[in-house]
Amino acid sequence: MLAKFLSDMFFRGTWVLFLLGASFLCYITFTYYLVNYEEGIVSFFRKDIGFLLAKKSFVGNIVWMTAFYFHVTSCILCLLVGPFQFVGYIRLNYTNLHRLLGKIYIFSILAAGVPSGFYMAIFANGGFAAQTGFVVLSVLWAATTYLAYHAIRKRDFKAHMGWAARSYALTFSAVTLRLWTPLLSVFTDMPHDTITGAVAWLNWIPNLLFTELLIRYFPRKL
């Protein structure tokens, strides 16, 4: 009984942390959509804050900027929708809502998040290591999301939950990326490009490993 209680508390706490992490990232990301006044021109897409300050050579490129805002918008949708797909009460009692949120999640990834992320990965800071890490992430993100969709179409609920969990683990890399970067910057003496290359892999590999443990040992908790 105690073990079950502790297990339930752990997974509920983990779910809350996922939701808080996703919500916080979405909150700070909204600043990219704030109105910007530049030389008397009103713009609803900022070019002078956050990540874009490190990509000054690209902010004038309409293709890259379009990909960036497609990627940011799709990530906001995925991060906020994802946690509620793992709430058993919603799945059982609000099936239509679960299906609707699932369609939004899948569409936002496959139609916007992956194509834009793959394109941006080619131009990632940090050289070949970073570019390769983000390209692999994009491919796996697409594959796990599609396999989750494919499994539910075959009514293979167990496989669906496993692939959906893997997909969200990769979605959540948007949050863990922003944790690894300052950690390595503070506690190591590695050059910035080396940190960027390392984080391109660290932001998603531990997420997948953690998820694989959950799938293997606690599948009923998903």
Q: What is the DSSP string of 156-176?
A: -HHHHHHHHHHHHHHHTHHHH
The conformation of residue 194, written as its DSSP 8-state character, comes to H
* pTM for the full predicted model: 0.88
Residue among 144, 28, 19, 138 nearest 82 (CA): 19
Residue among 65, 67, 97, 70 nearest 81 (CA): 97
Strands 36-38 vs 41-43: parallel, antiparallel or unpaired: antiparallel
Walk along the chain (222 residues) and give the pLDDT tens digit of each residue. Answer: 655 665 667 677 787 888 888 888 888 787 777 655 554 444 556 666 667 777 878 888 889 988 998 999 999 999 999 999 999 899 999 999 999 999 999 999 999 999 999 999 999 999 999 999 999 999 999 999 999 999 999 999 999 999 999 999 999 999 999 999 999 999 999 998 899 999 999 999 999 999 999 999 888 777
Rounded Cα–Cα distance for residues 47 and 52 (Å): 6
pLDDT at 32: 75
The conformation of residue 58, written as its DSSP 8-state character, comes to T
Structure tokens at 81: 């929708």
Neighbours of 68 (CB within 10 A): 23
Q: Which helix (H) or strand (E) holds 119?
A: helix 114-122
Residues whose CB falls within 8 Å of the CB of residue 21, separated by 6 or more in sequence, listed in order: 172, 175
Q: Torsions phi, psi of 37, nearest 5?
A: -105, 115
Rounded Cα–Cα distance for residues 160 and 163 (Å): 5
